[in-house]
Amino acid sequence: MKWITRERPKIDRIACPWLILRFIDPQAEIIYVPYEEVLEKAAELGAVPFDLPDVEYSHYEDRCTFDYFIKKHKLKDEALERIAAIVRGADTDRHDFAPQAAGLEAIFSGLTSQIKDDQELLKFGLTIYDGLYVWAQRLYNLRHTQAGPVEQLLLQVYQQYLKTDKGKRAPIWANALKEMIQDQLDTNMTLSLQQASEELEINPTYLSREFSKYFDNLSFGEYMRKLRIDKAIQLMENENYTLTEVAYLTGFSDQSHFNRTFKKQMGYNPSNYRKNILRGKKDTN
C-alpha cells in the first residue's frame, strides 16, 4: 500500500511512516511530495494521504496524526502510547506533554537541516524510532543519574516548575508567529495560514485550531483582517494615499474587497470613515 504526505518531514511525518512500516504494513511505500501536489498525486498513485488538512489521517482534538494512526488501527501497546506523548509534544511544541519531546524535536530539527533527501531522512528516522521504541518498552523507568540526592532534588524542582507554569506561557511557535506577523506590517500583509505553517514547520490543521488561544480569541483570518483594518485606519489619516493605495498596502485584492471588509468591521465604508477622521483632525486644530 502507498502512503503520501508533504515533503521535508520532521517529526510526525517520520513517526507515522515508522508506525506504518513496523505495525501496520511492512511492505508500505512512503511518498513525499510538495504540499500542493499531495492530493493530486494521491489520486494518481492510489496512495493514502496523511498529515495535512481535510484528510482522514491528520491531527484531531489536541492529538497529532501519529495518535490518529494508533486509534484508527487499534494498536494496543503501552510503549506506543509513551512514544505518542513524546511525538505529540515535539510536533505541537508542547514539551510539557513528555520531557523527551524537546530532545526529539532537537534531533529532527538537526537532521532535517543536514539531510536534504527525504527518503534518506526517513531511513535515519526509522532507526531513531526503533531505538525510542525499545526505550519505551523496558528502559523508560531508568535514569542516567540513577536518582542521586542532588539530581533527585533538581528533578523535583523542575517538575514543580512545569506544574505551576503549565498553561501560562505561550509556546515558542506563537511568539515566532507574532514576529512574522509584525514583519508583515511593513509589507502588504499577504501572509497565509499555509505560509505560516510551512515557515514554522507546524501542521496547518493544528496551527488553525490552536491559533485563537494566543491571538485575542480570533481565528487566523479574523486576526489578520483586524490588523489590516487597523493599518488601513493609520494610512487613511494621511491624505496623500488614495483608498485604492490603502487597499493595496493592506493586502486586499482590490478596493471593493477592502470596502466590504472595512464596512463589515467598522460599520462605515472607508470614504465616510476617512471624512470623519479628517473632519475630526480639523476640529481639533
Report the DSSP beta bridge partners of residue 63. 60
Answer yes or no: is pLDDT of 147 > 50: no
Q: Which of 178, 209, 202 is nearest to 35 (CA)?
A: 202
Q: Is residue 158 part of a domain?
A: no
Q: Are residues 35 and 143 in the same domain?
A: yes
Q: Is residue 153 part of a domain?
A: no
Q: Are residues 144 and 256 in the same domain?
A: no
Answer yes or no: is pLDDT of 184 > 90: no
Q: Are residues 124 and 234 in the same domain?
A: no
Residue 31, classed as helix, strand or coil, is strand
The string of pLDDT tens digits covering residues 151-160 is 555 555 555 5
Give the span between the Cα atoms of 250 and 219, in whole angstroms.
18
- For the beta carbon of residue 55, count every other beta carbon within 10 angstroms: 17
The string of pLDDT tens digits covering residues 135-145 is 999 888 765 55
Sequence-distant (6+) residues with CB within 8 A of 172 are: 93
Answer yes or no: is pLDDT of 24 > 80: yes
Q: Is residue 179 part of a domain?
A: yes
Give the span between the Cα atoms of 45 and 95, in whole angstroms.
36
Instruction: Decide which of 132 and 166 is more confident.
Output: 132
Q: How many residues does the chain have?
A: 285
Question: pLDDT-derived band of residue 169, with 50, 70 and 90 as boundaries?
Answer: low
Q: Are residues 133 and 214 in the same domain?
A: no
Of 100, 116, 148, which residue constitutes the final position of a domain?
Answer: 148
Q: Is residue 64 part of a domain?
A: yes
End-to-end alpha carbon distance in the chain: 74
Mean pLDDT of the chain: 84
Mean pLDDT of 230-236: 87
Q: Are residues 273 and 201 in the same domain?
A: yes
Phi, psi of 12 (to 5 degrees): -65, -35
Q: Are residues 8 and 144 in the same domain?
A: yes
Phi, psi of 86 (to 5 degrees): -70, -45
Mean pLDDT of 172-178: 84
Domain that holds residue 72: 2-148
Of 113, 148, 183, which residue constitutes the final position of a domain?
Answer: 148
The string of pLDDT tens digits covering residues 65-110 is 999 999 999 999 999 999 999 999 999 888 878 889 999 999 999 9
Answer yes or no: is pLDDT of 134 > 90: yes
* Residue 274 cell numbers, joined: 476617512
Q: Are residues 110 and 210 in the same domain?
A: no
Query: Strands 29-33 and 48-49, how do they pair?
Result: unpaired
Q: Is residue 167 part of a domain?
A: no
Read off the CATH number of the domain in which 208 is found. Answer: 1.10.10.60
pLDDT the model gives residue 141? 74
Q: Are residues 183 and 255 in the same domain?
A: yes
Q: Are residues 103 and 69 in the same domain?
A: yes
To the nearest 10 degrees (0 to 180), the angle between helices 78-91 and 12-19 is 160
Of 91, 113, 148, which residue constitutes the final position of a domain?
Answer: 148
Q: Is residue 263 part of a domain?
A: yes
Most confident of 3-7, 169-173, 272-276: 3-7
Q: Is residue 209 part of a domain?
A: yes
- For the beta carbon of residue 218, count every other beta carbon within 10 angstroms: 14
Q: Which of 204, 261, 212, 209 is nearest to 233 (CA)?
A: 261
Lowest mean pLDDT among 179-188, 214-223, 251-260: 179-188
Please state the separation of Cα 127 from the chain's center in Å.
Answer: 25
Q: Are residues 108 and 179 in the same domain?
A: no
Q: Is residue 132 part of a domain?
A: yes
Q: How many domains does the chain have?
A: 2
Q: Are residues 11 and 143 in the same domain?
A: yes
Question: pLDDT-derived band of residue 130, with 50, 70 and 90 as boundaries?
Answer: very high
Answer yes or no: is pLDDT of 253 > 90: no
Residue 45, classed as helix, strand or coil, is helix
Q: Are residues 209 and 138 in the same domain?
A: no
